[in-house]
Structure 1
Amino acid sequence: MNFMCYLALHPRKKIVVSGGDDRLWKTWGFPDGNILLTGEGHTDWLSGCCFRPSGTQLVTSSGDTTVRIWDLSRRGCILTLRGHSRAVHDCSWHSCGDFVASASMDGTSKIWDVNSERCRYTLRGHEDSVNSIEFLPFSSTALTSSADKTLSLWDVRTGLRVYTFQGHVHSCNHATFNKKGDTIASCDSSGVMKLWDMRKLLPVLSIDAGPHPANQVSFHRSGDLVALASSEGSVKVLYLSTGQLSILRGPGVEVRCVRFHSQDHLLSAGADGRVCIWAQ
């Protein structure tokens, strides 16, 4: 059984990439689901994937401690970035297209210069595994979540931590920005989801969607909805205007990842290797 770990959306085309414990990434058309490309090369499970903003390349992270860059037209790996000492949990591409970030179980994150093919900075400060990393679009800020129960903001021009959010009492599994960049959503291993005001650097809302772990969160492009992937086997959607939490019941297996694809569709994937498409 393929344990699906990640979904990422092409910046312009109706293409989705997914990866899991079969060591492969696959791109497929939306919504028909036909497989377009398959990438082979990692020697352990895939943990993350992200399209380059131009849509021509892909970055992936893996339990094999590496980060890889793939050229979609050449259908092959063009660069392997080595430097982490333990499994890499997540990766992200900066909006300028020149930098990639990675987050690792070794307690560090790294900023890689794709052009020079070298590590620009190693971000040190978390006291446990770094579980996710994401760039704030069109900025020099990166956001990490960690098993040390904190979220951190980093200045990628200097490699220094600029702020730490504290409030979770269990391992933070994922954190993400909304499209405006003024709100952060995070989730933890006890199922708690929190929203944070990016400008005031304060907590805004805490929702207990547990007791099962919450694995990933995703904002709708409107900023009015936040979806949560639950190990309970469901997707939970928070309506920010009312505070209402609705539960979408799927195949009943652990949901690992969730993404709003468009105004009307939500994608989720999990332990059975299938991707579910939800219509709103």
Structure 2
Amino acid sequence: MLLACPLWAGGALRVLIAPEASDHTQPVVTAVAISADGGAVVSGGDDHKIRVWNAASGEQLLVMEGHQDWVRDLRIAPTGDRLASVANDGSFRLWSLGDGRLQRESQLSCDTLASVSFHPNGEQAVTTGFGAPARLHNLSADGPGESYACPCRDMRCCTVSPNGQLMAAAGRSGVVRLWPIASGGAARDLAAGGRRIYCLAFSPQSDRIAVAGDDSIVRIFDATLGDVVMELPARPAKVRTALFLDSDRLATAGTDNAITVWDLKSRVPTHRLTGHTGTVTSLAWAPQTGRLASGSYDTTVRVWDLNQQAVNQTAKADPATTR
């Protein structure tokens, strides 16, 4: 199959991956991760499986099985050797990324766990979900971890700042709750439009946090003062995923089936990566190589090369790399 993907202002499609289940159906992709060097991509979705791919060729390297329901989120540890995942089955799992061996399983809820994120020390991880508190897990100890009261029951996202000082979580209430986990101080809330929030992203310096979801506006807050420092008009799309590429660039994606890269100094988009034919659910960034991975309801994973300065070009996936 040959897919043409028109692009605007740079960023060539490097490889297209279409996972296939044992019954020859293609699973919806709701989670992606990419190794720091951009060599491996991990995907998860509604077939309950986690797959590891070669990011250059699209070759499937490994399949991890164990979740009993839809995989909602996954992250590679800062050390690069472990993978954390959460799913609709209410379980948090920790895997060896080298051989796919399950290292840890915690049944945390009878409902969906929606989000997981590593602490930058690699020894802790935070999870949250529907009707579940945010939990900070010590990965070297047994037990469910320390719990934190959330602003609502329908929680969709959680993250930890790169400096390890703040933890954030948000969901249906449109409120972001920040906990100073390093100092143990009181939590504080950021009002972010009043509609469901799907994604949170700290800047590399931990001084700002991007917040987005159903109200189609990306708000960037000062993480210390709590003030909105800028708003990006993502209309008419609803945003489902966002991440900082560096201090001055933010990538967002969602229901318009496209990925937008914003220059935060000028507050205008510099790239618009198109080709997905369904909502883009997840993004992952490999800063060492400039590769951006994206997953979508269209059942594909795409790897983009943002270092390639292509303008008004059409990227084509090599049939040999399409599975």
Task: Give yes or no for TM over 0.5.
Answer: yes
**Is 1:278 paired with 2:265?**
no
**Aligned equivalents of 2:65 and 2:8: distance in 1?**
33
Corresponding position of 1:209: 192
Alignment partner of 1:51 out of 17, 29, 34: 34
Structure 1 residue 149, shift from structure 2 partner? 4.2
Alignment partner of 1:247 out of 231, 246, 262: 231
**Is 1:119 paired with 2:108?**
no
RMSD: 2.2
**Aligned equivalents of 1:83 and 1:150: distance in 2?**
23
Corresponding position of 1:39: 17
**Is 1:179 paired with 2:162?**
yes
Letter in 2 for 1:227: A
Q: Which runs of 5+ in 1 are unaligned?
A: 1-27
Q: Where do residues 14-25 of structure 1 align in structure 2 (5 Å cutoff)?
A: none
Letter in 2 for 1:236: R
**Aligned equivalents of 1:196 and 1:222: distance in 2?**
17
Cα displacement string for residues 50-82 of structure 1 (whole angstroms, at most 9, x for unaligned residues): 112343111111111111111224421111111
Asked which structure has the greater RCO (Cα within 8 Å, sep 6+), the reply is 2
Corresponding position of 1:156: 139
Partner SS, residue 44 of structure 1? coil
**Aligned equivalents of 1:204 and 1:34: distance in 2?**
42
Partner SS, residue 211 of structure 2? strand
Corresponding position of 2:175: 192
| TM superposition score normalised by structure 2 | 0.73
**Is 1:267 paired with 2:251?**
yes
Structure 1 residue 159, shift from structure 2 partner? 4.7
Partner SS, residue 142 of structure 1? strand
Structure 1 residue 199, shift from structure 2 partner? 2.3
Letter in 2 for 1:155: N
Q: Compared with structure 1, are the counterparts of its residues 44 and 187 closer, same or farther at alpha carbon in structure 2 (3 Å cutoff)?
A: same
| TM superposition score normalised by structure 1 | 0.84
Kindly indicate whether the alpha-carbon contact (under 8 Å) linking 1:150 and 1:168 is maintained by their aligned counterparts in 2: no
How many percent of aligned residue pairs carry the same amino acid?
21
Structure 1 residue 252, shift from structure 2 partner? 1.6
Cα displacement string for residues 14-64 of structure 1 (whole angstroms, at most 9, x for unaligned residues): xxxxxxxxxxxxxx9996122111111152211111112343111111111
Partner SS, residue 241 of structure 2? strand
Q: Compared with structure 1, are the counterparts of its residues 37 and 29 closer, same or farther at alpha carbon in structure 2 (3 Å cutoff)?
A: farther
Q: Which has the larger radius of gyration?
A: 2
Q: Which runs of 5+ in 2 are unaligned?
A: 1-5, 21-25, 265-323
More strand by share: 1
**Aligned equivalents of 1:263 and 1:200: distance in 2?**
25
Letter in 2 for 1:250: A
> Please, which moves more after superposition, 118-127 or 209-218?
118-127
**Aligned equivalents of 2:38 and 2:47: distance in 1?**
25
Q: Compared with structure 1, are the counterparts of its residues 31 and 51 closer, same or farther at alpha carbon in structure 2 (3 Å cutoff)?
A: farther
Kindly indicate whether the alpha-carbon contact (under 8 Å) linking 2:180 and 2:187 is maintained by their aligned counterparts in 1: yes
